Amino acid sequence: MLSTTCYSSRAEAVDRQIERSVFAARPAIEKIASYYRTVAEERGISITNKGDGEVYADARLFDRALSNLLDNALRFTPDGGKITIATETKPDRTELAIEDTGCGIPPQHLPRIFDRFYRADSSRSSQGTGLGLALVKSITDLHGGSVEVASEVNRGTTVTLTFPAKPMDDPAGAPTRE
């Protein structure tokens, strides 16, 4: 929990320099996905990485956001389920959609899932602090991006992260203040 709280504070620090760079999405995603595949395979859950493109982001914060989403997807996807990470690059942004075939989130909880310490159903799991999705939102906000969620109970959830493209006037790899 301390690690998550520290990351949350770091992501929300107004004067923090983030070290953005342009990097290939697929290998960055594969690095994180491979960490979760062992647990997933034990439960018969497949993790698929599809699409390609480049992301303009702080690589450590990007990794943390994706890790939080994969951890949630694994936690709420039943044995034999699927998790798909799809990357799509558009002229002004890169979108990552993390889709699972899990239990879904009831509609009445969707407006609050990005609130700190909010848990949609505390009886579902004794794990988790309710900080993971708040941290994901803080990370995407810090990058000037967004996070959206679509969910259907007993069918699954899709969380889409959007990272803006690198501005033409920003030198490659230059730290930016947000």
Read off the pLDDT of residues 70-98 as tens digits, 9 standing for 90 and up: 999 999 999 999 999 999 999 999 999 99
- The pLDDT value recorded for residue 118 is 52
Taking a C-beta distance cutoff of 8 angstroms, is the pair 20, 57 a contact? Answer: yes
Q: Are strands 17-18 and 46-51 parallel, antiparallel or unpaired?
A: unpaired
Residue 64's φ and ψ, nearest 5 degrees, are: -65, -45
Output the pTM of the full model: 0.82
Q: What is the pLDDT of residues 14-65, one digit of tens each?
A: 446 799 999 999 999 999 999 999 999 999 999 999 999 999 999 999 999 9
DSSP state of 164: E
Residue 147's φ and ψ, nearest 5 degrees, are: -135, 135
Q: Are strands 156-164 and 146-152 parallel, antiparallel or unpaired?
A: antiparallel
Q: Helix 132-142 crosses helix 59-76 at what angle (to 10 degrees)?
A: 150
How far separated are the first and last CA of the chain, in Å rounded?
Answer: 26
∠ Cα 54 104 67 (to 5°): 35
- The pLDDT value recorded for residue 133 is 87
Q: Mean pLDDT lowest for which of 16-20, 48-52, 102-106, 126-130?
A: 126-130
> Which pLDDT band holds residue 171 (cuts at 50, 70, 90)?
low
Q: What is the average pLDDT value for the chain, to the nearest integer?
A: 84
- The pLDDT value recorded for residue 120 is 59
Alpha-helical regions (H) of the chain:
2-12, 25-42, 59-76, 132-142
- The pLDDT value recorded for residue 126 is 42
Q: Are strands 176-177 and 17-18 parallel, antiparallel or unpaired?
A: antiparallel
> Which pLDDT band holds residue 8 (cuts at 50, 70, 90)?
very low
Taking a C-beta distance cutoff of 8 angstroms, is the pair 53, 87 a contact? Answer: yes
